[in-house]
Amino acid sequence: MKVWLDGQLVDKADAKLSMFDHGTLYGDGVFEGIRVYGGKIFECQAHMDRLFASASKIRLTIPYTQEQIVAAMAQTLVANGMADGYIRLVVTRGVGTLGLNPNRCPRGSVFVIAGQIELYPREMYERGMPVIIAKTRRTSPAMLDPSVKSLNYLNNIMAKIEATDAGVGEAIMLNDRGEVSEATGDNIFIVKDGAVLTPPVSAGILQGITRRVVMELCAAAAIPCREQTMTPADLFAADECFLTGTAAEVIPVTKIDHRDIAAGTVGPISQRLITAFHEFIRL
């Protein structure tokens, strides 16, 4: 495998950051996970815009233009002979001194990994996935702007550990008000009385790019779709439930905290949107 690291393609074994990089020391940086379908970078401009917006919000200067980063991703795909897969694009604060002061890091570092990812077994996409509601709460927007896709994922990781301990693939996180926010790496939707509902930005969510695409697919298919504050009770009373994310794509949820959602099978609207998403990514 070849990795693009600060302007050069290097072998995986030689792709290394300094131990003094503040991305390593403090999780100081931002990233994007990006799908590639048929050699095309999926929603490339949206990912670039979000990356640069995240960096701006933490006052991190990316030492390359958007065009240069897109070219780096394309170069990495070619070097690895990859037409379908997953890109992890990371920007760190760069090498600095011990201590939190980011001004002691003169230049950020950028790297691109192009590989494969499979978060969940394929059968879960057909039969649905069981999840839990985590005890770990989502980091409050008053603490960190949820629109920043930062390298510090410890909050999400602790909820993921809960899911692993429970023997399920994912955990739903609540915000500090007890409202449904999102999963550890995915956005959540429910279906109720024919309408598709998803938590609003005020619930502390990351505005997922796949989330937006699914909402647009709902509009194209004349399926009512809106943002709505929801509680765990709304999840348990839902007719259907599914998660969306770059790596996860669209995956149905059929059980929450050992309780079946409706009949415990993949619902018709979820299946319709899964099919529509697969058709969309191949356009």
* Sequential pLDDT tens for the chain (283 residues): 999 999 999 999 999 999 999 999 999 999 999 999 999 999 999 999 999 999 999 999 999 999 999 999 999 999 999 999 999 999 999 999 999 999 999 999 999 999 999 889 999 999 999 999 999 999 999 999 999 999 999 999 999 999 999 999 999 999 999 999 999 999 999 999 999 999 999 999 999 999 999 999 999 999 999 999 999 999 999 999 999 999 999 999 999 999 999 999 999 999 999 999 999 998 6
Question: Using an 8 Å Cβ cutoff, are 76 and 4 in contact?
Answer: yes
Distance of alpha carbon 153 from alpha carbon 177, whole angstroms: 21
Distance CA 3, CA 162 (A): 32
Distance CA 117, CA 96 (A): 32
- Given 149, 160, 192, 255, the catalytic residue: 149
Give the pTM: 0.95
Comparing CA positions, the residue from 125, 130, 131 lying closest to residue 275 is: 125
Cα–chain center distance at 247: 7
Q: Counting Cβ atoms within 10 Å, is residue 234 exposed (0-12), middle (13-18) or buried (19+)?
A: middle
Concerning whether 149 is annotated as a catalytic residue, the answer is: yes
Give me the helix-helix angle, 209-220 and 268-281, nearest 10°. 110
DSSP class of residue 13 equals G
**Which amino acid is residue 246, in one-letter code?**
T
